Structure 1
Amino acid sequence: MKLTSGYARVSTAEQTADSQRDALNAAGCSRVWTDTASGATTSRPQLNDLLSHLRDGDTLVVWRLDRLDRPLPHLLQTVEDLDERGIEFRSLTESIDTTTSGGKLIFSIFGALAEFERNLIRERTEVGLAAARARWRIGGRPPKMTANKIRQAHKMPSCKVRTP
């Protein structure tokens, strides 16, 4: 039996997921799993439970994409994992439905945008590091052993401190 299951998430205990649950129930979800967790956290016990219940042919429905996962690459990976398991995905607010050609196209565009963003970040990082190296700057944290501490260590009777 193919099931349509919903997932709702709120960020804090002061928020309520009632409107999300109402929309998911109206969309035909037989059960709705709800987490209270920040979008930045990866600990989502209810989502993990839901994902373990889904089978080939089932559908996962969310009220909005950012309720499932916040960073776009993670969201894309989650939906790709669902697709590999034969699980369909729908987002009500964005009208995305991976059971349709249009929904698959939209998600492919999201994937291309996420890859483009990752490449831009990598390019900017490489340019910034090259510019810093050209100015003889080294990235990272400052060393704990300052020049003064190294001199003091050398004065100690059994010093085996290597200088950088």
Structure 2
Amino acid sequence: MKTIVLVRHGKSSWEYDVSDAERPLKSRGVKDAKLVAKHFAKENLIPKYFFSSPAKRALDTCKIFVNSFDLSENSIKIDNSLYDFGGESVVNFVKSLPNDINYAMIFGHNHAYTSIANIFGDKFIANLPTSGLVKMNFEINDWKDLKKGKTELIITPKQLKE
């Protein structure tokens, strides 16, 4: 079995005149990411493998999760193909993961993550919000055989604040 956790970056700030890739998190984005990470840590086994888009907002969200899990930021691998908004590059990335990795957490962007969650998971998500995560399990032994799986968990900041 293979398991993937998709995490959409936290709410980003538009108040700085920077490129899209350099856009930072808003304070709300930091708070929401910490909230979701803390909740996930209580509910689940923590993966050993963390992959992030190089975009500042995604990488900073990844660092918040890794730090919440008391792990080293050295456990994060940055991959340019995860700076993807459509989803094809992310799917290709997942399908090319080494098969000795059975459980990974990937940080990136929408619309890609909502689409991937709906294509490969078994629960419809209208929109994966910022700092939201989706955990999916797949009855496969080889990542290249990625197919419809089971959505095990969806966590959003809003549900934790209610």
Choose 1 or 2 for highest CA Rg.
1
Q: TM range, normalised to the smaller chain?
A: 0.3 to 0.5
Structure number with higher helix proportion = 1
- Higher RCO by CA contacts (8 Å cutoff, separation 6 or greater): 2
Structure with higher strand content: 2
Per the normalisation by structure 2, the TM-score is 0.33
What TM-score comes out, normalization by structure 1 length?
A: 0.32
